Chain A
Amino acid sequence: MNRFISKHITAPIEAAPLAVFRILFGVMMLLSIVRFWSYGWIEKLYIQPKFFFSYYGFEWVKPLGVYTYLIFIICSLSAIFVALGYKYKIAIITFFISFTYIELMDKTTYLNHYYFISLLSFLMIFLPANAYFSLDAKQDSKKAFQKIPAWTINSVKLMLGIVYFYAGLAKLNSDWLFKAMPLKIWLPSKFDTPLLGQFLHEEWVQYAFSWFGAGYDLAIPFLLLYKKTRPFAFLMVVVFHVMTRVLFPIGMFPYVMIISTLIFFDSSFHHKLLGYFSGLFRIAKNRFDNKRILAMPLNVVTNSKLVLISLFFVIQLLMPWRYLVYPGELFWTEEGYRFSWRVMLMEKSGYAQFKVVSKDSGKWFYVDNSDFLTPFQEKQMSFQPDFILEYAQYLKRHFEKDGHKNVQIFVDSRVALNGRLSTTYIDPKVDLGEERESFEHKNWIIPFTDEIKGI
């Protein structure tokens, strides 16, 4: 045990891998934001909509109108500072807060990899990523260290390992493995992909992709950990992520994962990479190779930091299992679906038509969702119960403010999951205006009519 602790937690190791990780992370984040902005998505997703879907408990986080751009500017500036390692602590805290704020503004845009970025940047607040090859280290030699405690780099590896492994576990279900769903729906529609396209409608190809994908996710953290398998594992990482990039619209995520996995390589690789950077930007790399070791003093600060990080990982390990405390099929109710590395598991779509009934007069009418929601919001809302509830509450408030009294909100909804025929999703007799959001099971979701076995 002591040997384990010393080897993986306290032992001094080269800081170069973490420095490379910091630089590439900062650059990727900057590119992501520039890309997001250049597509006009800030305007389209955060300024144009009239209504925003909030995370439970974060209803106070809203876009700030045209000042929303300011948050993006702050976020990209802090990403630059992180890459440079300049005022690192403030930069990474600012990045974490601004990025997380952006993600909390509207639940519609939830993506696992945005959550991943938030977690990673939170973790990085506690890591001495500016100890080596940074402006901070250059300016203040007291802050410069060539070696840092092992836990710092290992915690990033652990985070990545959790993401992959849980993504793999989530694929161990009967739809994915024995029905090749949802790839059976998605792949044939990619028939115009160069080279691969003509094979994607073949059933065996769909099964091969499904099984290979599950195997890849489960195995890759371990293949990356062992030196012998590492080069091959990295090749797999590249092939896998490039493939997903070609086949699916998933933006920057593949590239972020590819550069993140570089942290598994030996420090000699990172030194070479930094040597290359140094040549390119005329930086004297040897000034950072000062042989200084960042020690772990046995004090309250170190201990509380370690406790916090441990707690963070305990939560990470438990979060994906929280669905077990809810009844019903997870894919159907989505209670405990988010924040669990369930990536690209479902072809799910729905249709929700809301009926506004005035309790006193008995008069009723249907809502035209496009009066309140963007097409993207409407699409996301139509198959997720918490969205449906929040929107129903909003409709109730809206129409009561409009002068209607005692408004009841009913929904006529249908959802199709992984190629099954659509069925009624929400109990049409329940007045959603009377229901409240909570962590409890939503008993107004009509139970799933089929069964999906597995994790």
Chain B
Amino acid sequence: MKRFLAIFTVATMIWACSSDSSGSDTTDDIVDPKPEEVSFERGSMLTNWADNIIIPSHEAFSIEMTGLQTAFDTFKGDASEVNLVAFRASWLSAYKMWQRVSMFEIGPAETVGLRLNMNIYPTDGPKIDGFVSSGTYDLALASNRDAKGFPALDYLINGLGDTDEDIVAKYNGAEKESLISYTGDVIADMAGLTTGVLAEWNSGYRDTFVENDGASSTASVDRFINDYVFYYEKFLRAGKMGIPVGAFSENVLPQNVEAYYKADVSNELFLEGFEAVQDFFNGVHYGKSTSGESLASYLDALNTIKDGDDLTKLINDQFDLAKTKVEALAPFREEIENNVPPTNMLLAYDEVQRIVPMLKVDMVSAMSVSIDFVDADGD
């Protein structure tokens, strides 16, 4: 026994010491790796995330914000029904693009609390009315997050009256100046945050993010997987569907749907965010059909083939199934208000829900990432 252990120790030492010299040539010639034992490079996954998904998405969102600003300027010049319709279209288009960047709450976005500043809903209509009539408000205050961002615009564009005629009348009425200036401030606040986050990504954070390719709770991959799962569970699953449909309360909460005043786009917004999450899982490049290293390819490389079926496929199948279910739904507000109980939406929610344990238990455990939401902000 002693001799065996002695040999083992010596062998361990030699092997440990010799590993330095083999740094440049790959480990392939040291042992015979079976084909599936690919060593996965977290660095290249991070590069793919940053260069092909996160930054291009932020860029596209930034362009959308510029479009929104332009549409608003036109509306400001002439508050006509035609210009309102165009303004609304720009808002919806930007809101949809937002669904593709909302999950990237890491680095500069995390620092400024981008998600909390852009998309807290339900928005506080009476509070906005108060701000508009008093003209005194500080949008930078955390307590005013429910009076700004996309939901506030939803109120200002869709909620001030029953018809476009009514809304346009408000913008041409007694409070004309203050309404325009409040709307302008909300957009300026959003545009400022958006440009700031993108600028940080382009001026150094990209490298910080990609180079932090280790394996600790502070490494980029571990942190982002936490953020990603957290986003899916809290904001996409619960925020956009679960809470309004009444999964977490005794009664349904239709006023909690996203874009409540627009009323007919909440499912569209959800699906955009849902597809973004699935695309991210598969490493699909933003705006393209190509893809790169991703959570999916990482899982494949980790050889987590179980039950004769692989986890990547199981997760994608569930994504597809849930998507089909949600696509068949009417706008969420309609589903909730017209059905007691909203059975179809609850059933669709169940399918959306089923992805949570797949990501949070199976995927995370296969990757040996520790789930720790301690440092994450709640909503």
Q: Given A202-B27, A203-B37, A368-B248, does the pair A189, B2 have CB atoms closer than 8 Å?
A: no
In the bound complex, how far is the Cα of B215 from the Cα of A186, in angstroms?
11
Would you give the shortest CB distance from A380 to chain B, in whole angstroms? 11
Instruction: Please report the total number of A residues contacting B with Cβ < 8 Å.
Output: 50
Q: Is B165 an interface residue (CB 8 A)?
A: no
Beta-carbon nearest neighbor of B306 in chain A: A421
- B149 interfacial by beta-carbon distance below 8 Å: no
The reply to whether A420 and B247 contact each other, CB–CB distance below 8 Å, is no
- Which chain A residues border B246 with CB–CB below 8 Å? 365
Contact of B371 with A375 in the complex, beta carbons under 8 Å: yes
- A451: shortest Cβ distance to chain B, in Å? 15
* Interface: B290 (CB within 8 A): no
Pairwise interchain contact B1-A201, C-beta atoms closer than 8 A? no
Pick the contact of B368 from A189, A192, A202, A363 — CB < 8 Å? A189
Cβ contact within 8 Å between B5 and A232: yes
A338-389 contacts to B (CB < 8 Å): 347-351, 353, 358, 363-368, 370, 374-376, 379
| Contact-residue bracket for chain B | 35 or more
Q: Is B358 an interface residue (CB 8 A)?
A: yes
Docked-complex contact B31 and A421, CB < 8 angstroms:
no
B248 neighbours in A (Cβ, 8 Å)? 365-368
The verdict on B238 contacting chain A, using a C-beta distance below 8 Å, is yes
Residue B137 interfacial (CB < 8 Å): no
Q: Which of A197-239 contact B (CB under 8 A)?
A: 198-199, 201-204, 212, 219, 223, 228-229, 232, 235-236, 239
Q: How far is the CA of A223 from the CA of B311 in the complex (A)?
A: 44
Write the A163-204 contact mask toward B (1 if CB under 8 angstroms, else 0): 000000000000000000000011011111001101101111
Determine if B29 is an interface residue (Cβ-Cβ < 8 Å). no
> Are B372's CB and A422's CB within 8 A?
no
Q: For B307, what are the chain A residues with a Cβ–Cβ distance below 8 Å?
A: 421
Query: Which residues of A are found within 8 Å of B371, using beta-carbon distances?
Result: 349, 375, 379
How far apart sit A348 and B371, CA to CA, in the bound complex (Å)? 12
- Contacts A202-B31, A203-B34 known; A375 to B365 CB distance under 8 Å? no
Query: Which of the residues B1, B365, B374 comes within 8 Å of A416, measured between beta carbons?
Result: B365
Cβ-defined contact, A370 with B378, below 8 A: yes
A414 and B8: CB pair below 8 A? no
- Known interface pairs A349-B365, A421-B306, A421-B311. Does A365 touch B37 (Cβ–Cβ under 8 Å)? no
Residues in B neighbouring A421, C-beta threshold 8 A: 306-307, 311, 314, 362
User: Is B357 in contact with A188, judged by CB distance below 8 angstroms?
Assistant: no
CB distance from B86 to the nearest CB of A (A): 40
Chain B CB within 8 A of A392 CB: no
Main secondary structure of the interface of A (DSSP, over half): mixed
Q: Which of A195, A228, A366, A422 contacts B247 (CB 8 A)?
A: A366
Cross-chain contact B19 with A198 (CB below 8 angstroms): yes
Give Cα distance in the complex from A216 to B358, angstroms.
36
Q: Is A419's CB within 8 Å of the partner chain B?
A: yes
Asked if B16 CB lies within 8 Å of chain A CBs, one says: yes
B304–A201 touching, CB < 8 Å: no
**A346 → chain B, closest Cβ, in Å?**
10
> What's the nearest-Cβ distance from chain A to residue B247, in Å?
5
The reply on A104 being an interface residue by CB < 8 A is: no
Question: Nearest Cβ distance between residue B358 and chain A, in whole angstroms?
Answer: 7
Bound CA–CA A366/B364 (angstroms): 23
How long is the Cα–Cα vector from A375 to B378 in the complex, in angstroms? 12
Instruction: Determine the distance from Cα of A212 to Cα of B247 in the docked complex, in whole angstroms.
Output: 50
Instruction: Write out, one digit per residue, whether chain A residues 277-312 have a CB within 8 A of any chain B CB (1) or not (0).
Output: 000000000000000000000000000000000000
Q: Does chain A have a CB within 8 A of B302? A: yes
In the complex the two chains form, is A375's CB within 8 Å of B374's CB? yes
The digit string for B1-18, where 1 denotes a CB below 8 A from any CB of A, is 110011011001001110
Q: Which of A195, A235, A353, A375: most chain B CB closer than 10 A?
A: A375
- Across the interface, do B6 and A232 meet the contact criterion of CB distance under 8 Å? yes
Q: In the docked arrangement, what's the CA distance between A368 and B233, Å?
A: 11
Residue of B nearest to A44 (CB): B374
Q: Which residues B350-364 have CB closer than 8 A to chain A?
A: 353, 356-358, 360-362, 364
- B360, A212: Cβ atoms closer than 8 Å: no
**Residue A415 interfacial (CB < 8 Å):** yes
B20 CB within 8 Å of chain A = yes
Min Cβ gap A111→B in Å is 16
Q: Which of B27, B213, B361, B366 has the most CB of A within 10 A?
A: B361
In the bound complex, what is the Cα–Cα distance between A235 and B10 (angstroms)?
12
Pair B37/A202 contact, Cβ less than 8 Å: yes
A351 touches B9 (CB 8 A): no
A208 to nearest B CB, angstroms? 9
Q: A212-B8, A422-B357 are in contact. Are A358 and B362 (CB under 8 A)?
A: no
Interchain CB contact (< 8 A) of B250 among A365, A367, A375, A376: A365
Q: A199-B19, A375-B372 are in contact. Are A368 and B238 (CB under 8 A)?
A: yes
State in angstroms the CA–CA spacing of A301 and B66 once bound together: 87
A212 to B11, CA, bound (A): 13
Contact of B361 among A212, A367, A422 (CB under 8 A): A422
**Selected contact of B37 from candidates A201, A375, A379, CB within 8 Å:** A201
Q: Which of these, A190, A199, A347, A368, contacts B365 with CB under 8 Å?
A: A347
Beyond known contacts A195-B16, A232-B2, A379-B371: 6 more, CB 8 A cutoff: A195-B20, A198-B27, A203-B33, A367-B248, A416-B362, A422-B361
* Closest CB pairs A-B (n = 10): A189-B368, A351-B357, A192-B214, A414-B357, A421-B306, A375-B373, A349-B365, A422-B361, A363-B250, A201-B39
Q: What are 17 A-to-B residue pairs whose CB atoms are below 8 Å? A: A185-B368, A189-B368, A191-B39, A192-B215, A198-B27, A202-B33, A223-B1, A347-B365, A349-B371, A351-B357, A365-B247, A365-B249, A370-B373, A374-B374, A375-B373, A416-B361, A422-B358
